[in-house]
Structure 1
């Protein structure tokens, strides 16, 4: 197909003129860059504020070098320690270091709030595996449903044969995913099913979907979930602080830009 590019140049020129007419702080704000840079700066400040004691250092070093394939060097984590390691490892180690710094800061500032936040979020953190068969005909959907409840064929075999969705490549299986991820209509149905139950065809947009609940795993406050919840609490406060700060800062930046112009 031949793309119609003949009018691209005047369109770009017009767009450039519109952008040039705006003060730089307003342009950066409209493009989301002002917020992105502010968030990155605050995150770096948070990470740089965290250190590790001599007692913590061995465990931190072990986590930094986990899976690297070579033993960690015998040195402390003071100063510019990254400059003293193999250049090939510096990028990986820096990312892990920043993650560990952030994790410690989050624990210090939000650790006491995690359990109550977990209780509030527990239902939505539950993980499920379910079967789905999507077809375009209500008649075919009813036939598949009857064959399932009659035990004539397995859900996997019918999904592979009839489903028009991507789940046919997994024999109908979707997940494990948290219960809040599926379409709201599917989520509502799954909440009513016991493991092994098959639901009659559900009209959904232009499809008819047959659902079966395969597995339900209650949420647990393990290490991964704890870190997720810590990040949620941090991002909630960070976004609120950024909203307030940028609302106050942008007018001052615009005033300064106008006076300099």
Structure 2
């Protein structure tokens, strides 16, 4: 029967399974197995394989035969397994592109209101009369927003003259975000009550999200992780002490 030796300790196959469970590593194993199954159909061209392996060796300081041999011994893997690790990320990228690449534009448009960034000014105070007075001072240009915020605002924004951002539109309180969404730059809103606060908001700048390479990567990663979380939640982890394999994952 297969076993694992660590120093003078011999761990049986059944014990390995229970150790993985005890150290809460089964969900991670499940994640990796699901990924391996999903990327199995994707092949790399010889040039892609050569490039990613070379880059992997460079990134991990495996630049000499001795260093590679030491890594193989340290991880108890073969050269073929090490190269499979090196190729995994590119295969995952191929999976992402094949599965969600054509859906990115529509998904981006769906998510764009939350992806847009905003710079805005905020004053919050627990006193309704103070909020109203400050609003009229700013509107009449008797005092600047920054001066009023620095003196009267009761949050951390006082340290920046009330200025916040750039932040995703999804970050501010939904009521504030709703005002910012329909604002023009420089538009000042009368005080509104949010929980225990009275807040004054002014839009400074709207920064629309763009479907550039960085955004594409972010959205692909989000779609991939969402899919993976769903697959993990559907998987059933079952330990069989008398089974030849330590963990069975069934659907």
- The alignment's TM-score, normalised by the length of structure 2, stands at 0.67
The number of residue pairs the alignment matches comes to 207
1:208 paired residue among 198, 206, 210: 198
1:12-27 to 2 correspondences below 5 Å: none
Matched, 1:226 2:216: yes
2:104 paired residue among 99, 106, 114: 114
Gaps (5+ residues) in structure 2?
1-16, 72-85, 244-251
**1:196 aligns to what SS in structure 2?**
coil
Contact 2:34 2:231 in 1 (8 A): no
What stretches of structure 1 move > 2 A for 4+ residues in a row? 31-58, 75-87, 96-110, 256-259
1:48 Cα deviation (Å)? Answer: 9.3
Give the 3 Å change call, closer, same or farther, for CA 139–81 of structure 1 in structure 2.
closer
Residues of 2 paired with 1:56 and 1:135: CA distance?
59
Residues of 2 paired with 1:81 and 1:160: CA distance?
47
1:102 Cα deviation (Å)? Answer: 4.5
Residues of 2 paired with 1:47 and 1:178: CA distance?
33
**Structure 2 residue aligned with 1:35:** 27
1:47 Cα deviation (Å)? Answer: 8.1
**Deviations 1:150-182 (Å, cap 9, x if unpaired)?**
011111111111111011122111111111111
Give the 3 Å change call, closer, same or farther, for CA 100–144 of structure 1 in structure 2.
farther
**Structure 1 residue aligned with 2:165:** 175
Structure having the higher strand fraction is 2
Matched, 1:131 2:109: no
Residues of 1 paired with 2:180 and 2:218: CA distance?
24
Contact 1:103 1:227 in 2 (8 A): no
1:217 paired residue among 200, 207, 222: 207
Matched, 1:237 2:227: yes
